[in-house]
Amino acid sequence: MTRAGVAELSRTAGDDHERLARVWLGVRTEPGDLAVARLLVDVGAEEAVARLAAGRGPAQTVAPVRPDREPGTTAARVLESASRQGLRWVCPGDDEWPARLHDLSLVGDVARRGGTPAGLWARGPRAAAEKGRMAVAVVGARASTEYGNEVAGEIAAELAEAGVSVISGAAYGIDAAAHRGALAVRGPTAAVLACGVDVAYPRGHDAMLARIAEQGIILSEAPPGDHPTKVRFLARNRLIAALADAVVVVEAAWRSGALNTLLWAGELQRPACGVPGPVTSALSRGVHHVLREHRAELVTNAAEVIELIAPLGSAPLPGASGWNRGERRPLDGLDPMTVAVREALPVDGAAGVDLLAAEVGLNQTQALAVLGRLLALGLAERNGAGWRLPRRGGLSGGQVDRTLPT
């Protein structure tokens, strides 16, 4: 680092100095570069920046660092730009920093990715780590089946109703089903991306990501504006596992990327869980293999997952509100997709079938069938402009019989 660079960094004191150095590392090095992560642990953020900017970084560094701009200036610009977009940088020392990420410094690498990140970019109202709240990752196949989506959505909804944060990667398939299950019950959910938190990826999930940003939190190691690469997905998987108290895989083929997340759970000594599927399905092979090899616990619902992570005799989890005590819950009897459609209904105004179908990932015929069911149950209203939540009753009123006809 040049004297000008040191002077730029020195304009802010104490924690701000450290923060700028960590932002520089987050912007100028590749996510999950284990050599950089170890350098950060060994010499600290400021010295790591000095060495890397001067070309004296570890030989094993995957992506060479370009010393084309002053570190402090680059970091300050990135922070300022991110702040204008409503994004924030979270790093060690912040109240919301997830301390469990430091476990990554105690293990090696998986698929040449590893180490504790210099920090995380965050978007959304929830904290990156909420004290006293458990978290479970629910991941799986992108090309999932109806069975897998239903199971993932149910487990996620039940976890969220119990006050457990649901973590996933916002991909198509199981990830989306997990997020939507949590969103449907207005529960906590976190999407961990392989791109910038301001990038809608996959593009078809822009509406879902917007809802997560309103209701939960989006996290990423990649700087704002960056797009995903294969190696960044592998780096992202370690964060999903480290942020969670347990990892649940629902549907995974023999070489599924979801199994990489499960491997990280094992490295980090987090409970690794698998949901069994049809023996005739190729999407069951990966899950069944880790179950057969005793590398994962067999689970079929949220209660079985919570048994693995909740201390014996512990008090009810935050937000549990009668969960698993025989009390009737507001969403009992509704399948996850019906709940998702119901939660997509506006309180004011009205939405057309096409908009609602796009929001939850159904075609218009399927969405119309679900809306008809909600209408019959008193959980939706229809007017000339479209569909909306009922003005009285519904889930908030607690007076509607939600048992679906058989």
More confident residue, 195 or 335: 195
Confidence of residue 400 (pLDDT cuts 50, 70, 90): very low
Residue 387 tokens read as 């569909």
d(CA 193, CA 235): 10
Looking at the chain, the whole-number percentage of residues with pLDDT higher than 70 is 83
140 phi and psi angles, rounded to 5 deg: 170, -160
Q: Is residue 102 part of a domain?
A: no
Strands 297-298, 272-275: pairing kind: parallel
Average pLDDT over residues 30-39: 93
Q: Is 50 left (phi over 0), alpha (psi -120 to 50) or beta?
A: alpha
CATH of the domain at 370: 1.10.10.10
Residues 284 and 226 in one domain: yes
Note whether 88 and 97 are within 8 A (CB): no
Q: Is residue 56 part of a domain?
A: yes
Residues 219 and 273 in one domain: yes
Helix (H, G, I), strand (E, B) or coil at 191: strand
Domain count, the chain: 3
Asked if residue 321 has pLDDT above 60, the reply is: no
Residue 38's domain spans which residues?
A: 1-61+70-84
Q: Is residue 108 part of a domain?
A: no
Over the stretch 118-137, which tens digit does the pLDDT of each residue have? Answer: 999 999 999 999 988 999 99
Asked if residue 269 has pLDDT above 60, the reply is: yes
Residues 374 and 227 in one domain: no
Domain boundary among 309, 327, 354: 309
Residues 256 and 293 in one domain: yes
Q: Is residue 129 part of a domain?
A: yes
d(CA 360, CA 176): 9
Note whether 159 and 306 are within 8 A (CB): yes
pTM: 0.76
Average pLDDT over residues 148-173: 96
Half-sphere exposure (CA, 13 Å, Cβ side) for 88?
13
Residues 192 and 281 in one domain: yes
Residues 224 and 155 in one domain: yes
Note whether 308 and 376 are within 8 A (CB): no
Asked if residue 62 has pLDDT above 80, the reply is: no
CATH of the domain at 275: 3.40.50.450
Over the stretch 290-313, which tens digit does the pLDDT of each residue have? Answer: 999 999 999 999 999 999 998 655
Asked if residue 315 has pLDDT above 80, the reply is: no
Q: Is residue 350 part of a domain?
A: yes
Q: Is residue 340 part of a domain?
A: yes
Residue 53 makes CB contacts below 8 A (sequence gap 6+) with 1, 5, 24, 65, 67, 71
Confidence of residue 323 (pLDDT cuts 50, 70, 90): very low
